[in-house]
Amino acid sequence: MTTKITFIGAGSVVFTQGLLADLFAYPELAEVHVALHDIDPERLRTAHAAAGRIAEARGAKPVLTVHADRREALEGADFVVNMVQIGMGEASRLDFDLPARYGVKQTIGDTLGVGGIFRALRTFPFLSELGEDIAQVCPQAWLLNYTNPMAMNVQYLSETLGSDRVVGLCHSVYWTVHDLAALLEVPLSEVTYHAAGVNHQAWILRLEHQGADLYPRLAELAEDPQLRRRVRFDMFRRLGFYPTETSEHSSEYVPWYLGHAGEIERLRLPIGAYLDVVAENEAEYERTRRAIERDEPLTVEGTNEYAPQIIHSVVTGTPRTVYGNVLNRGLIPNLPATGAVEVPCLADATGIRPTRVAALPPQLAALNRTYLSTTELVVRAAIEDDPRHIRHAAMTDPATAAALPVERIWELCDEMVLAHGDALQPGLRETLGG
């Protein structure tokens, strides 16, 4: 029986191309059924044409279908890969511009902070509909989520769908280790590591080269004057463990950096960096669309993303360890059971099984608990239809609380609610005043 993989938000053409390049590189997956869905007809046509080019370049012969109707795309799916971005670049620009008028500085704005909170709130109505469709059309499918904010979306999906077949995927752990291996000048293939925490704020708990601990060497490097000007190395020097996301990301989840002009300068923090990513993604899509129109060749590059690896492992029985985001339920005993955590997961013919991790060092767990408190309040706002919890989430968010007094936080949330308007579920559109 042919394996069916449904891509939701396939109009994210550049990301879709990378995933398909990885999928079609596996001979066992060369004839899978890939169903592409998007609400933008032009982007869907572009994604379909690009998929055909990639399959040809990889020597694969998949069944490729395109669907404007989501339920049709999901029918009989074994795997659902979600990469939808609700509101696209326009909403992201709003998430930066409006808080900036209040003096709130953001770099990425897709995980915590005002940007992460409202990205989640405008994504939840879509996730609710997607979850209902999956429950009715393909209840045994594995839902592999790439859409941010990862922890909020995974918790919301898991609670509303009532399923343990939801796994959030992010490349941050892999690329952190990849870059550390290069920095330490050791072959990545000879490095063993263990990480856990929450998405974009997990921690490298063990890092070894052929059985030798690499942390002492990393500590020596951390005294380099240029490396000391990176947030991740600053956090490593003070916390004792290296975080698994970029300095831009890491700066947003703590109160120590973005609220201080001197720290922004010292650590070279690019305020609004994600808006450059948005612009580049839009430009890259246009380049791909024009190349297809002109029948020019497309560059086919793999991504080392986890979704293709998981699908290959489940389909072929090849065991792999990947990092996934799932409901905690005791996996990390000193973090909240209801929160979404990032832990090693075993993928094989039986599916995807998260592994239990020992309690985190207390200083790491303290930061993760703060992160998960904000996440919990955003999810509760949506599930309980309580607009006050939006404000509570912003009040507990470290970077927002460090930048604004509480009355201004409430005023900012009111403006964000009005600005995003119909993208939010009706019960959350109420303004409450400062």
d(C-alpha 29, C-alpha 23), whole Å: 6
DSSP 8-class letter at 322 = E
Query: DSSP string spanning 63-124?
Result: EEEEESSHHHHHTT-SEEEE---TTHHHHHHHHHHHHHHTT---SS-SSSHHHHHHHHHHHH
Asked if residue 200 belongs to a known ligand binding site, the reply is yes
Alpha helix (H) residue ranges in 214-320: 215-221, 231-239, 247-251, 261-266, 273-293, 306-316
With contact defined as beta carbons under 8 Å apart, do 37 and 68 qualify?
yes
Measured at the alpha carbon of residue 216, what is the angle toward residues 213 and 220, in degrees to the nearest 5? 150
> Rounded to an integer, what distance in angstroms lies between the CA atom of residue 70 and that of residue 67?
7
Sign of the CA dihedral 147, 152, 154, 158?
negative
Helices 362-383/231-239 angle, 10° precision: 120
Catalytic residue, chosen from 37, 48, 171, 312, is 171
**Cis preceding linkage at 149, omega within 30:** yes
Which amino acid, residue 161? Answer: L
Residue 61, amino acid = K
Measured between alpha carbons, how far is 376 from 389 in angstroms, rounded to an integer? 9
Give the span between the Cα atoms of 108 and 230, in whole angstroms. 16
State yes or no: is 171 an active-site residue: yes
Tell me, rounded to whole angstroms, the distance of Cα 107 from its chain centroid.
15
Distance of CA 323 to the CA centre of its chain: 12
**DSSP conformational letter for 334:** T
Q: Which residues are annotated as a binding site for substrate?
A: 148
Q: Which residues are annotated as a binding site?
A: 148, 170, 200
Show which residues are catalytic: 171
